[in-house]
Each structure stands twice: as structure tokens, then as C-alpha cells.
Structure 1
């Protein structure tokens, strides 16, 4: 009997490991195959268009570029690492300011009908405006490129936070608010103890959408304003006709954006409540 039990457990363990191995292979094989296809198409295009660098040329250029990403030869000649950090700093500043303003405004719009009637038309009017359309106004107000870029990030980041937070507040069950009213809770306790836990998944969705938009906008803003940043570095490499560096910048921008998105998706899942 014990031999049969041992064999059964051994079979279950083998089946479990086989299932895990198959899952791991599925998770790896798909992305590897897709990336391999991208490289093959890239190679084919580069063979027909000599101006496009091949994957091999780009790889060697990237190895050289990242061998010293933080060199500093003056304001207009800095390594890609410094430029990337400058862009992330601007995104962090504009994004943080948008969160400080947008989330409370979203709570107010979702919570109070009078505030919603006042601000909803304004949000609907300004939200479709391209963030870069605000950049000249930022240059006029702040007289400098750096705060103007942060201003553009602020404007593009604030709308998803306001809208998603307001939607989350408006969808809180009325029974929760009725109980809070019966318990005679203060508005602060209603916000922190009742609304915030229920609205948090919506709010984090708005944050995730905002960071993606902010990272898109900063590249274009830096191309226009100059100075330092990954967008300025990309445009400067175009002026120097270093096409392989432009391709590298595209991959770097994509990887950083993917990492930011993945981080916030994981955060949103952690705070999303599901019924078991």
C-alpha cells in the first residue's frame, strides 16, 4: 500500500513540475519568438535601405554607448544615463503635482453634485487638448524650458486621475454612505474610511494611465525645449546623423515605459479587491 502511495505522489509531483515547465516555456517562447521576428524584419529592411542600421551595428553601438552612460563633457554633451535621469525627474515632478491636485479634485467632483456640475464641463473641454499645445503657454509663464516641460507633464497627467477618481467615488454603493451617516461620521472619516478603500482601484487605474501619457509627452516636449533629457538626446543624435543611436533611444524609451507601466499595474493589482 505504501509503495502505491509513493508512486501516486511521485506521479503528482512529476505532473506538477511538468505543468510548471510548460507554463514557463509558454511565458518565454512567445516573447522570444516575437522579438526574433522583429529582428528578422529589421534586418530585411536594413538590407534594402542602407540608411537604416542593422541589428548588429545597433548592438555594437549600444554596447559602446552603455559602457559609459554617465559621462559629462559639458551641458550639451552628456551620457544617455544623465539624459534619462533628467527625463524621469521631470516626469516625477509633473506627475507628482498632478496627483496632488487631480486626486482631491476627482474626489470632490465625484462626491458633490454642485462641484461636478461646475467642473465637469471644464474637464470635458480641456481634456482633448494636446499636452504639447500647453507647452508654449508654459514657456510664456515660466520663462524657462525645464518648468515648461514639467507643466506639460502636469497637464497631460491630471485628467486621467480626475476622471477615474471621480468615477470611482460616484460608484461607491449608497448603502456605505447611509451607514456612515447613521454613525454620524465626519467628512474626513467618510473620505478616509469609506470612500478611499473603495475608490483606490479606480484611482490607481488613473495613475497608471497618467504615467504612460506623461512618459509619451516628455519625449516630445524635450525635443521642442532642448537642454537635457532623452527626447533632446534623441533629437541631437538625429542632427548628428547617428541613426543607430536613434534606434537605441527608441528601445530605451520603450523599456522604461514598459517598466513604469508594469510597476503600476502590479501596484493596482495589489490594491484591487476581488471576491473569492
Structure 2
């Protein structure tokens, strides 16, 4: 049985969703058209002068209604992995291409950031020396890296992976350094006294103690990576969910744009939930 708090939360979520759908529905209903001079289309004399009938006309919003969106989504998701050429690929195929790029760039960032974060956390002198460079590079937008990456790498696919790498590097690095630096001094003194080898220090003491903080940084980094790949693919991609959004906008298919936006959000939520599950499973009990 659900608790009263959970039932209330579910009700509020359902009510919010219903409210959004109602607002969407009413905002896309047909509306009576008006002339640019404020004369309604129903004015008989004006209509005769303009050579049109006196029947009031209505205009439809170009934005799809919820019903039209659902029908289009069912049609698109019926064959999500079809591939009829570069400009006609299913949305599932596009989403998979983006996920692959994110996993490559994010994986490389993790492999670099975690060891470097250990160095920062264990060697305050190195951290103080390199921290100004980190603070300068960290707030740079993913889009700002694109011209430099395109000029130096000259490959759209590698450019997108580089942008993912450089944007997800900093949250993982800083959180790893913070987690390692926050380990209790007593534990470090004990392992020094026992003359434990460095591999054992890292894998049996330092890494388990800092794991929750490292996973927090990895969750933040993954969110940044997922944001960056969509922007990068809009600029230089020939595939991927960001390219799909831009291509459908150029085709004036707003239903497909909305569907892609929802899938981006769902995919991001699934990725964060997976890392949240891993984070809960590595809680370090003192």
C-alpha cells in the first residue's frame, strides 16, 4: 500500500500533467481570424470588398494538438530503427548514435578525471598550482569549443566526442578531488603506519571512501555530457538526436521536434537513474 505522502505526490503529478495537457489543447484550438486593421472576418461589407464570402473563417495553430502529436508519435515509433539513408533514419537509430558518442566521450573523461582527481586530493600543492586553469576552463560553454575543435580535429564525429570529453571532465575531476581530500586523516595515518602498498591504499581505502562523492561528480558530468551532445549535433552532426531535432525543425515538423525533446529528457532521466542506483550501492559505512 502506498503511504499518504506517496498518494498525494502521485495525485499532484497526475494533476500537473492533466493541467499541461489541457493548456496545450486549448492553446492550439482554431481561432477566428482577424484582419491586420482590426476588422473581423465576419464583417459582411468588408468581406464583399475583399471579394470573399461573409462567412467568418477560422485559422488553425501550426502547433500540433495533443491528439495530433500522439498520432504522429505512434507513427514515428512504429519503426524507430529504419535506415533509408542519411536523411531518413529512425528516431531510435538517432538516439542510439547520440548515446554511443556520449558513452565514448564520457568514458574517456572518467578515465582521465578520476586519477587526476586522486592526485589533486592527495597533493594539495599540485591542486593549488593547477586549480586556476581548471576554474578558467570549467565554465566555458560546449558551443565555444566547437570552432576550435573543428579547426584542429577536422572531423565532425571526433569533434562531438571531444566536446563531450572536455565538458564532462571538470565535474568528475573536482568531485573526485573533494572526495579524496575529505577522507578522514586517521585512516590515512593508519595505512601509512602499516606501510600498506599504494595499490591496496587506493582500491581498499581511498576509492571506497571517496566513491559516493566520485559518483556524484559522474552524475553531474553525465548530465552535462547529454546536454552538450545535443548542441554539438545541431551544429556539426550528420546523425544523432540533436541532428534529428534540427532536421525536423527545418522540415517544419513540430510533432517530431516535441517527440525528440521528450525522448531526450527520458533518456537523460534513465542515465541519471542508473548512476543513482550505482551510487546507492556503493555507500561506504564507517
Q: Which has the higher contact order (CA 8 A, sep 6+)?
A: 1
- Aligned counterpart, 1:258: 269
- What TM-score comes out, normalization by structure 2 length? 0.86
Q: What are the superposed Cα offsets for residues 130-163 of structure 1, whole Å, 9 maximum, x if unpaired?
A: 1221112221222111110000000110000000
Query: Once the 2 structures are TM-superposed, how far is the Cα of residue 21 of structure 1 from its aligned partner?
Result: 6.1
Structure 2 residue 163 is the aligned partner of structure 1 residue 152:
yes
The RMSD of aligned alpha carbons is 1.6
Runs of 4+ aligned structure 1 residues displaced above 4 Å come to 21-24
Out of 114, 119, 129, the position equivalent to 1:118 is 129
- Aligned counterpart, 2:7: 25
Out of 84, 91, 105, the position equivalent to 1:73 is 84
- Aligned counterpart, 1:13: none
Query: Once the 2 structures are TM-superposed, how far is the Cα of residue 187 of structure 1 from its aligned partner?
Result: 2.1
Query: Once the 2 structures are TM-superposed, how far is the Cα of residue 264 of structure 1 from its aligned partner?
Result: 1.2
2:65 and 2:153 map into 1 onto residues whose CA distance is 43
- Aligned counterpart, 2:48: none
Query: Once the 2 structures are TM-superposed, how far is the Cα of residue 25 of structure 1 from its aligned partner?
Result: 3.1
Out of 38, 61, 64, the position equivalent to 1:50 is 61
1:87 and 1:93 map into 2 onto residues whose CA distance is 10
Q: What are the superposed Cα offsets for residues 23-73 of structure 1, whole Å, 9 maximum, x if unpaired?
A: 663453232222112211222322367021111110000000001111111
- What TM-score comes out, normalization by structure 1 length? 0.89
**Could you list the runs of 5+ residues in structure 2 that have no partner in the other structure?**
32-59
- Aligned counterpart, 2:184: 173
1:169 and 1:98 map into 2 onto residues whose CA distance is 18
Structure 2 residue 184 is the aligned partner of structure 1 residue 184:
no
- Aligned counterpart, 2:17: 35
37-46 or 229-238, larger mean C-alpha shift: 37-46
When the two structures are aligned, how many residues end up with a matched partner?
A: 257
2:27 and 2:167 map into 1 onto residues whose CA distance is 35
2:256 and 2:124 map into 1 onto residues whose CA distance is 52
- Aligned counterpart, 1:108: 119
Q: Secondary structure at the match of 1:84?
A: helix
* Rg larger in structure: 2
**Could you list the runs of 5+ residues in structure 1 that have no partner in the other structure?**
1-16
Query: Does the 8 Å CA contact 2:208/2:284 hold for their aligned counterparts?
Result: no
2:278 and 2:16 map into 1 onto residues whose CA distance is 27
Q: Which structure: greater helix fraction?
A: 1
Out of 71, 79, 93, the position equivalent to 2:104 is 93
Structure 2 residue 251 is the aligned partner of structure 1 residue 269:
no
Q: Secondary structure at the match of 1:227?
A: coil
1:151 and 1:174 map into 2 onto residues whose CA distance is 37
